[in-house]
Amino acid sequence: MRRVLLWLPLVLFAALFGLVALGLFKPADRTVRSAMVDKPLPDFALPAMLPTKPGVARSSFGGGKPRLINIFASWCVPCIAEVPELAKLKAAGVPIDGVAINDTPEAIQAFLDRNGDPYQRIGNDKTSQLQIALGSSGVPETFLIDGRGRIVRQYVSNLQPDQVEDILKTWRGMR
Amino acid sequence: MRPLLRFLRHAGPVPASAGRQASRLKPLWYDLRRGRPRHKAGVTIVLGLLATLATPALAQQAPLADVQLSDPVKEAQAKALMETIRCVECQGQAIADSNADIAANMRSLIRQRIKAGESPAQVRAWLIQRYGDYISYDPPLGSATWPLWAAPVVLLVIGIAIARSSFRRKR
Amino acid sequence: MIAEGGLAALWLAAVMAVLQLVLASSAVIGGRDEMARAVRPVAIAQGLLTGLAMLCLILVFVQSDMSVLLVAENSHSLKPMMYKIAGAWGNHEGSMLLWVTILGLAGGAVAIFERRLDQRTLNATIGAQALIAMGFYAFLLFASNPFARLFPSPPDGNGLNPLLQDPGLAFHPPTLYVGYVGISVAFSFAVGALVTREVGPAFARAMRPWVLGAWIFLTIGITAGSYWAYYELGWGGWWFWDPVENASLMPWLAATALLHSVSVLATRDGLRAWTIMLAVVAFSMSMIGTFLVRSGILTSVHAFAVDPKRGAFLLALLAIYIGGALVLFAARIGTVRQGNTFALVSREGALVVNNLLLSVILGIVLIGTLYPLAAAGWGVQLSVGKPFFDKTAGPIALLLVVFMAMGPLLRWRRDEPQALLKRMTWPVAAAGAALIILVSFASDAGLMPLAALVLAAGLAVASVAALWGRNLRRTPLFTWGMVVAHLGIAVSLAGMASDSAFTKETLAVLRQGETRAVGPYLVTMTGIRPVVGPNWSAVAADLSIRRGEGAAPFILSPQSRFFASPPTTTSESAIATRLDGQLYTVLGQPDGKGGWQVRLWWKPFVTLIWLGGALIGLGGVLSFFGRIRRRKRAVYDEYEEAMA
């Protein structure tokens, strides 16, 4: 018994070492992902950000047609990089709803004028209520909602071309 | 001014050395931290302060982010909960200790819900539903965390077993 | 030139370390006694050479020599001199050089001052020290050269992060490093003793001052760091269970257990295996801490630059040293005769329980810190923080406090439970009185803080009770040390509990002339004004504060500071310290309508936390000098006897 006990610390250290080595050579994904993927979209209703577009509400989802929710802001630089990708999606017919975080109508209008407008609707989420309800941890993020109102996918940070392909494929498959 | 300051906070994707394609915003402090010594305060707080101080931002903030509830019991419950919820944008801070916007918005949300009558446990569970266990500094007992919670007991038992060998055996 | 001189000194020191190892090995294992004579001078030479290297680095910073890469990255010619010097170790390479310097100097000190340990074990110890030093020299010279040049040299440097431009930087890292290195010396002693199988009182007496010294510095370093974070961060917190903070707490816990264990070994020749194991564990913890801070595998605001290559190097060193020591332990300790065993109710028994509980707390902190990393490997993201540690380590710490109260009141070898209970009457009465007072006046305090305060009262009386019935002038200094250190724990615990239970917070938006209350104070905003400093500009709020309606007011001015290079904003809290607590004020954001957000806290007795920490350190210092005095007197008595 004593002999086992004597070698136990070495064994424990080896386990510790292995764990730490793993953490060093295979760094874990530090992104905080939403836990709402594959869950139904929560109930919400955001007022309109601009007079020219309607706000975003739960009621506009789940009618059989999949939609995208794009969380963005005028003060977010990667969002600017993302606009061409969103435009590609819009051109392919994917409806995109924008949710503006901590923003003002003037700034959003200026952003859209400068960079382009891929959105059908834009909701004003001044206090991150929807952002938190969706489990989003920053901007920009994109959520794909299927026809039944379930959150199917989350994309963190600005959309990359391969992610756009992924969205198009899934969206076409869902129709 | 504000767009510039927000730009300072999110300065681009993480380098590919992280092992995956650039997929997360790189806060400005990431570069500041390279080669920097241990420092005792989050640069995120500091940048958040920079962003928010330069312009009147209180008007934009969530209503109850930094306003206490009038019922002291509820405020104490809310405060206690806030100290155990992790800020999703910061480097290991509770939302009670952070100047980040989303932390302020979560504080407001917590106060609102507790004011409306929810219990702290319910609000924590709601947040965990959204963000997973990551967001709670109090890891919920579950299949992933039972070794963590069992560890103290196991350690105590092993320790006592070892310590017994130091005592004289009774004849 | 100076940089090259420093690098040359470093290389020479590395060569000395190799020589030291070779000489020590041939003396101990090969039995070549003539080699033994050279070991001491070589160790001293090594220490002096590393000291020279560190001096060169500091000089290069003082001169703001921008052709040295490290200076260009971390310094600026306009920095105040204190931060130029402190900036030498305020970065990865410089701090590693500081570590190696202290290691070398400590090795030299062992060679000079250790006279009573038998030659073989001493040589083995110096050899082990050389082995450790070699690994770090290799790391410095091949992976973290502090003297690397930069060509072409920039006109000026990047400057030091403003958050570090605080006296805390000059003080906090060096004290911690002295602590970590002192533990490595204890580790060398343990390895030396294992090699020669001389695990007994003589070895323990040789090791004790090193453990004590290291522990004192760790205590001071952690206390200072906690206070620095408290006044710097602006939210009133003083411990965050951040992985890097835990990385400094774990060696301290191990060192505390080791300190008590080595005393038992020195006086009673018991706990041999425990003492060796604790020395290995303490050093492992300090090495793991070094690794964690510099590898980037854990998320922390404290961490140095992320560099997996360096992390891998340190990990390899860790494996060699700790793995090697554990193999040596398992192979050798069986052949070391078991020391004395004790009765359950005795001072030794209490010390065994002390070891046990401290080790359990250490294990909990270690597991809690590394668990998120382990879970991430399985794809699960979770966080472990204050609530976990409060619920698990908290009760065990309180149990430890109970034994801490009983321990000094127990006799050595064997004691009677009834006699102990009799000696405990006053401490128990004090605890009872505290309980009654708290339950009557502060019943909403919460269970843990309440229990902590009650136990703190009991411990305070019990610590002082160890002095009763003694002739105080003839009580040895190290007994005073024990009393003061345990009292310090009680004081610190009371401060922590008080902060948890009685802090009052007020968040308000104040316009000119508006008043809000916090605790017993009334705070009125009297104005906002700009302030300019040497390398910063700020907005300061003048708050007029009075304790009650009719009292004389005083002014506190919290600031929001903007630095130019690098561009950062810091919040400077304004704190008023009184006998019964601190008033902590912070300036927030403007609301655009003339009002400014302020955060106000009244923290009763919070200063006890760090006062207690200082007392603990003081107790250690008293013990340290008490032992030296005793040793001198013993040597003197031996000499007298020999001369008679």
- Does C50 have pLDDT greater than 60? yes
Q: What residue of C is the nearest CA neighbor of A31?
A: C381
Indicate the residue among C142, C165, C188 that finishes a domain.
C165
C465–chain A Cβ distance below 8 A for any pair: no
- Over the stretch C567-583, which tens digit does the pLDDT of each residue have? 777 888 999 999 999 99
Do C246 and C269 reside in the same domain of the chain?
Answer: yes
How far apart are the C-alpha atoms of C287 and C321, rounded to whole Å? 9
Q: Is A162 left (phi over 0), alpha (psi -120 to 50) or beta?
A: alpha
In this complex, how many residue pairs, one in chain B and one in chain C, have their CB atoms less than 8 Å apart?
222
Residues C533 and C523 in one domain: yes
The answer on C577 and C494 residing in a single domain is: no
In this complex, the residue of B43, B58, B155 whose CB is nearest that of residue C592 is B58
Percent above pLDDT 90 for chain A: 58
Domain range holding C343? Answer: 166-371
Enclosing H/E stretch for C635: helix C608-643
Residue B164: what pLDDT? 83
Give the helix ranges, DSSP H, for A68-128.
77-91, 105-115
A12 touching B (Cβ < 8 Å) = no
Sign of CA dihedral C630, C632, C633, C638: positive
The number of C-alpha atoms within 13 Å of C513 and in the hemisphere containing its C-beta is 1
**Which residues in chain C have their CB less than 8 angstroms from residue B56's CB?**
589-593
Q: Do C326 and C225 lie in a common domain?
A: yes
Residue C379 has pLDDT above 60, yes or no: yes
Average pLDDT, chain A: 89
pLDDT, greater one: B19 or C471: C471
Enter the tokens of residue C286. 């300090």
Looking at C371, C398, C415, which one is the last position of a domain?
Answer: C371
What is the band of C155 on the pLDDT scale with cuts at 50, 70, 90? confident
Per-residue pLDDT at C300: 74
Whether residue B12 is predicted with pLDDT greater than 70 in this model: the reply is no
> Mean pLDDT over residues C581-605, rounded?
92
Whether C84 maps to a domain, the answer reads yes
Closest approach of C292 to chain A, Cα-based (Å): 9
Q: What is the distance of C-alpha B171 from the center of its chain?
A: 55
For the ranges A39-43, B24-28, C254-258, C443-447, the lowest mean pLDDT is seen at: B24-28
Query: Which one, of C288, C291, C296, C258, lies nearest residue C275 by Cα?
Result: C258
pLDDT reading at C361 higher than 60: yes
For C439-458, how does the pLDDT look when each residue is reduced to its tens digit (9 = 90+)?
998 877 889 999 999 999 99
Predicted local distance difference test score (pLDDT) of residue C303: 66
Q: How many residues does chain A have?
A: 175
- Each domain of chain B, given as residue ranges in start order, spans 1-60, 62-140
The pLDDT confidence band at residue C170, using thresholds 50, 70 and 90, is: confident
* Alpha carbon of B77: minimum distance to chain A alpha carbons (Å): 20
The yes-or-no verdict on residue A121 having pLDDT over 90 is yes
Which residue among A7, A10, A20 sits closest to C315, beta carbon to beta carbon? A20
Residue C398 in domain: no
Burial C158-176 (b: 16+ CB within 10 A, else e): bbbbbbbbbebbbbbbbbb
Hey, is the C-beta of A74 within 8 angstroms of any chain B C-beta? Answer: yes
C-alpha atoms less than 13 angstroms from C-alpha of C218 in its C-beta half-sphere:
29
Instruction: Considering only the beta carbons, identify the residue of B60, B63, B109 that sits closest to A132.
Output: B109
Position C488 scores a pLDDT of: 97
- Please give the pLDDT value at position B51: 41
Question: Between residues 47 and 106 of chain B, which touch chain A (CB distance below 8 Å)?
Answer: 60-63, 88-89, 101-102, 105-106
At residue B41, does pLDDT exceed 70?
Answer: no
Query: What's the CATH superfamily of B62-140?
Result: Cytochrome C biogenesis protein (1.10.8.640)
Q: For residue C315, list chain A residues with Cβ-Cβ distance below 8 A.
A: 17, 20-21, 24
Residue in B closest to C599 by C-alpha:
B66
CB contact under 8 A, C297 and A27: yes
How high is the pLDDT of residue C543? 95
Which residues lie across from C340 on neighbouring strands?
C270
Residue B46 has pLDDT above 50, yes or no: no
E strand or H helix that includes residue A6: helix A2-25
**Whether the Cβ atoms of residue C538 and residue C530 lie closer than 8 Å to each other:** yes
Contact B68 C507 (CB under 8 A): yes
Q: C98 with C174: CB under 8 angstroms?
A: yes
- SS3 string of C389-437? HHHHHHHHHHHHHHHHHHHHHCCCCCCCHHHHHHHCHHHHHHHHHHHHH
Is residue B169 less than 8 Å (CB to CB) from chain C? Answer: yes
SS3 of B40-86: CCCHHHHHHHHHHHCCCCHHHCCCCCCCCCCCHHHHHHHHHHHCCEE
Q: What is the mean pLDDT of residues A146-171?
A: 91
User: In angstroms, what separates the C-alpha of B73 from chain A's closest C-alpha?
Assistant: 25
Q: Summarize pLDDT for B89-146 with one digit per residue, the tens.
A: 888 889 998 888 899 999 999 999 999 999 999 999 999 999 999 999 999 998 889 9
Residue C352 has, within 13 A of its CA and on its CB side, a CA count of 27
Write down the pLDDT at residue B58: 54
C residues 348-387 lying closer than 8 A (beta carbon) to A:
370, 373-374, 376-377, 381
Q: Which H helix or E strand runs over B159?
A: helix B146-163
The predicted-structure confidence for C299-322, as pLDDT tens digits, reads as follows 776 766 667 788 888 889 989 999
Peptide bond into C534 cis (omega under 30): no
pLDDT band at C334 (very low <50, low <70, confident <90, very high): confident
Whether residue C105 is found in the same domain as residue C220 = no
| CA–CA separation, C321 and C434 (whole Å) | 48
What is the predicted pLDDT for the residue at B32?
38
Instruction: Identify which of B35, B13, B8 has the alpha carbon closest to the alpha carbon of residue B24.
Output: B13
Residues of A in contact with C318 (CB under 8 A): 17
Contact call for B53 and C589, based on CB within 8 A = yes
Q: For C244-255, what is the mean pLDDT?
A: 93
The model's confidence at residue C138, banded by pLDDT at 50, 70 and 90, is very high
Q: Which of C307, C317, C326, C336 to mutate to test the interface with A (most CBs of A within 10 A)?
A: C326
pLDDT at A63: 83
Contact list in A for residue B2 (CB cut-off 8 A) is 75, 107
Q: What pLDDT, on a 0 to 100 scale, did the predictor assign at position C305?
A: 62
Show which of residues 98-127 on chain B sit within 8 Å of chain C, judged by CB atoms.
none
Above 70 in pLDDT, residue B20? no
Size of interface A-C (CB pairs under 8 A): 63
- In a 10 Å sphere around its CB, with 0-12 CB exposed, 13-18 middle and 19+ buried, how is residue C324 labelled? middle
Over range B28-36, report the average pLDDT: 38
Inter-chain residue contact A19 with C333, CB threshold 8 Å: no
Nearest to C149 by CA among C11, C254, C4, C37: C4
Predicted confidence band of residue A32 (pLDDT cuts 50, 70, 90): confident
In B, which residues are within 8 Å of A128 by CB distance? 62, 101-102, 105-106, 109
Q: Give the pLDDT score at B52.
A: 41
| Domain spans, chain A | 58-174
Query: Is the confidence at residue C250, as pLDDT, over 60?
Result: yes
Eight-state DSSP code of residue B12: E
Condensed to tens digits (0 to 9), the pLDDT of residues C77-134 reads 878 888 888 888 888 899 889 999 999 999 999 988 887 788 888 889 999 999 999 9
pLDDT for position C279: 94
Q: What percent of chain C has pLDDT over 70?
A: 98
The verdict on a CB contact (< 8 Å) between A29 and B108 is: no
**What band does B24 get if pLDDT is binned at 50, 70 and 90?**
very low
Tell me yes or no: is domain A58-174 CATH 3.40.30.10: yes
Do C155 and C194 have their domain in common? no
Average pLDDT over residues C10-24: 93
Kindly state whether A75 is in contact with chain B, defined as any CB-CB distance less than 8 angstroms.
yes
**Residue B27: its pLDDT value, please?**
38
Who among C233, C342, C509 is closest to B166 (CB)? C342
Q: pLDDT for C507-560, tens place per residue?
A: 999 999 999 999 999 999 999 999 998 778 899 999 999 998 888 999 999 999
Q: What is the enclosing helix (H) or strand (E) of C563?
A: strand C559-563
The length of chain C, given as a count of residues: 644
pLDDT at B5: 38
Say if A51 is an interface residue toward chain C (CB within 8 Å): no
Contacts of A138 in chain B (CB under 8 A): 10, 24-25, 88-89, 102
Domain identity same for C52 and C103: yes
What is the rounded CA–CA span in Å between residue B132 and residue B126? 10
- Calpha distance A142→C318 (Å, rounded): 43
Give residue C31's pLDDT: 78
**Rounded mean pLDDT of C453-476?**
91
Provide the percentage of residues in chain A whose pLDDT is more than 70: 98
User: What is the C-alpha to C-alpha distance for residues C180 and C221, in angstroms, rounded to an integer?
Assistant: 11
- Which of the other chains make 3 or more beta carbon contacts under 8 angstroms with chain A? B, C
Q: What is the pLDDT of residue C598?
A: 93
> What average pLDDT does range C495-504 have in this prediction?
94
Phi, psi angle pair for C46, to nearest 5°: -60, -45
Look up the pTM and report it: 0.89
What percent of chain C is predicted at pLDDT more than 90? 55
- The verdict on C554 and C613 lying in the same domain is no
Task: Please check the confidence at residue B8 and state whether its pLDDT lies above 70.
Answer: no
